[in-house]
Amino acid sequence: MLNAKNGVVELPDGRMDYVRFGSGKKTMLLIPGLSESLQSVRGTALPMALSFRQLAGRFTVYMPGRRRDLPAHFSIREMASDTAAAMEALGIGSACVLGVSQGGMIAQHLALDHPEKVERLVLAVTMGRQNPTVDAAVRGWMAMAGKGDYRSLMVDTAERSYSPRRKKAMRAASALLAAVRKPKDFSRFLTQAEACLGHDVYDRLGEIRCPVLVIGGTEDQVVSGEASRELAAAIPGAELYMYEGLSHAAFDEAGDFFERAAAFFTAG
């Protein structure tokens, strides 16, 4: 049932790693967030399949990364263009698309610029335009990355992302992870972080025509809970679900998160 596979797809201007798992009739595209810049999807098919095994029976899931040699000053829109090209190369005509955090920003551009590729859309803990919360978070992380301070970057991410009941444990886990898995350099992270700060499609959100579910956390300390409410209000007919008391890692903390997304994808 897991049917896990690691792969590389050729793009017009580069190569992109992806993983595929599951054997369901429906195709799901799961676009990860900024963490992809620090831990590539390359070679992770089996652990991803095990982590998301509740999806494997109902969907064939593709998780694309970003292109391997990511140019400096590469925009979210260009990342979405790469994602569309990867779908073409993989023979994916259209899919149910779940975008988490920065993945949700990419998913917005995908739905706007390539609407034929998006059947239904879930935008999780993400935003349509800048706000003071995301500006402070991302600029702080870029400063830490610029100094090569991976421990502070990981600990601050955990601090901002988890609810009080999980924060202490995740701080410790993040500090330990930082001690054993430091990136060779932070150029990929800095490029993707800069792209987050340039993301703004707020004035175009009314053009999205596919069914949309927006999921947020009321206490999101990365993009803000208000960003999710704003997204849902700007997209015609969008549904909104807010996890009370959860922050940016609502997708990890809420036990029903992926089931909620799957139910939305199979409702139509």
Express each pLDDT in 65-95 by its tens digit.
999 999 999 999 999 999 999 999 999 999 9
Total length of the chain = 268
Q: Is the model's pLDDT at 250 over the cut of 90?
A: yes
Tokens of 242: 């807010």
Tokens of 248: 């940016």
What pLDDT is stored for residue 47 in this prediction?
92
What pLDDT does residue 1 have?
Answer: 60
Residue with tokens 């997304």: 261
Question: Buried b / exposed e across 170-188, counting CB within 10 Å, b at 16+?
Answer: bbeebeebbeeeebeebeb
CB neighbourhood size of 249 (10 A): 25
To the nearest whole percent, how much of the chain has pLDDT over 90?
89
- Could you tell me the pLDDT band of residue 177, with boundaries at 50, 70 and 90? confident
Is the pLDDT reported for residue 259 higher than 70? yes
Predicted local confidence at residue 180, as pLDDT: 79
Share of the chain above pLDDT 70, in %: 99
Q: Does the pLDDT value for residue 268 go beyond 70? A: no
- The residue among 14, 13, 18 whose CA lies nearest residue 92 is 18
Other CB atoms within 10 A of residue 67 CB: 21
Written as six digits, the tokens of 51 are 């982590």
Pairing of strands 5-11, 14-21: antiparallel
List phi, psi (to 5°) of 29: -105, 115
Question: In the prediction, which pLDDT does 97 show?
Answer: 98
111, 118 Cβ separation under 8 angstroms: yes
**Distance spanning both ends of the chain, measured CA to CA:** 24
Pairwise pLDDT comparison (194 vs 175), residue with the higher score? 194
Q: Taking all residues of the chain, what is their mean pLDDT, rounded to a whole number?
A: 95
- Domain chopping of the chain, boundaries: 5-129+201-267
Residue type at position 159: E
**Which pTM value belongs to this model?**
0.96
| Annotation: CATH topology of 5-129+201-267 | Rossmann fold (3.40.50)
- Chain segment 137-175, per-residue pLDDT in tens: 999 999 999 999 999 999 999 999 999 999 889 988 898
